[in-house]
Amino acid sequence: TESSVKPRGALIVLEGLDRSGKSTQCAKLLSFLNGLGHPTELWRFPDRETSVGQMISAYLSNKSQLDDHTIHLLFSANRWEKRSLMEEKLKTGTTLIVDRYSYSGVAFSSAKGLDIDWCKAPEIGLLAPDSVLYLDISPERAAERGGYGDERYERVEFQKKVADFYQTLGDSSWKIINASDAMEEVEKKIQQVVLDQVKECTEGKPLSLLWS
Ligand code: FDM
Ligand code: MG
């Protein structure tokens, strides 16, 4: 039968510690997919452009202090405020590459000592990624890469705890990419995974919801 339904885009999430190379790889992936003619956008969380995002940005740069639960909920709200646009983009055929998502939300807040299930709760009902690519690097190795800036969380001891929570969160569906490899190597591995996923979405893979 004839179908007028446009193939949907894929929701691709990159996760990893600070300095794991996510932002560089996201940019490379964006031009790769666009070059192949796949309509693609690069998003990132926190999205510091919105008013919630500005509160988050002030917190991260130590210009404001917030209770740990409060900032957790702001990070989540920052995803919720983009949820309907995200669904619209995907359903109209745009692939989204997302630099950090709910897994950052849960891993970073849990690493501060908040209960992991409490951290997951406000993420329930957000769109589930089609692929999570985890850029795997040791906290020590990441810290060697040009060092951290001076935002909150950019300390090696804290990043170690975050890495442990990422490990707890990850399941067999995650694609673990060795981020210590040469940049071109990492780039190629990501391209393979993502092309497969884009194809599955084109062939009718349904969208699903977190937390599953
Ligand atoms: N971060 C990011 C969180 O603590 N929770 C979240 O939900 C998200 C999306 O914010 F340290 C942390 C992770 C990082 C900091 O992120 C800023 P970028 O990617 O460096 O802008
Ligand atoms: Mg950072």
Span from the CA of 151 to the centroid of ligand 2 (angstroms): 7
Q: Which atom of ligand 1 is nearest to the CA of 23?
A: 19
Residue pLDDT, tens place only, 131-184: 999 999 999 999 998 878 889 999 999 999 999 999 999 999 999 999 999 999
Domain ranges of the chain: 11-202
Output the CA–CA distances (angstroms, integers) from residue 208 to 47, 128, 129, in the order listed: 22, 5, 8
Q: Residue whose CA is closest, atom 11 of ligand 1?
A: 153
Give this complex's ipTM: 0.98
Does the structure show a pLDDT above 60 at 69?
Answer: yes
CATH class, 11-202 region: alpha beta
Residue in the block written with tokens 């985890």: 134
Question: Span 24-43, mean pLDDT?
Answer: 98
Does the structure show a pLDDT above 90 at 113?
Answer: yes
Does the structure show a pLDDT above 60 at 1?
Answer: no
Span from the CA of 73 to the centroid of ligand 2 (angstroms): 19
Q: Which atom of ligand 1 is nearest to the CA of 108?
A: 4
Closest CA to 89 of 31, 147, 9: 9
Does the structure show a pLDDT above 60 at 72?
Answer: yes
Q: Give the lowest-confidence range in 84-88, 99-103, 149-153.
A: 149-153
Q: How far apart are CA 194 and CA 133, in angstroms?
A: 9
Does the structure show a pLDDT above 70 at 4?
Answer: no
Q: Residue 209, SS3?
A: strand
Span from the CA of 60 to the centroid of ligand 1 (angstroms): 8
**Pocket residues for ligand 1 (CB within 6 Å)?**
18, 45-46, 60, 75, 100, 104-105, 108, 153
Does the structure show a pLDDT above 60 at 209?
Answer: yes
- In this prediction, residue 54 carries a pLDDT of 98
- In this prediction, residue 5 carries a pLDDT of 72
Q: What percent of the chain has pLDDT over 70?
A: 98
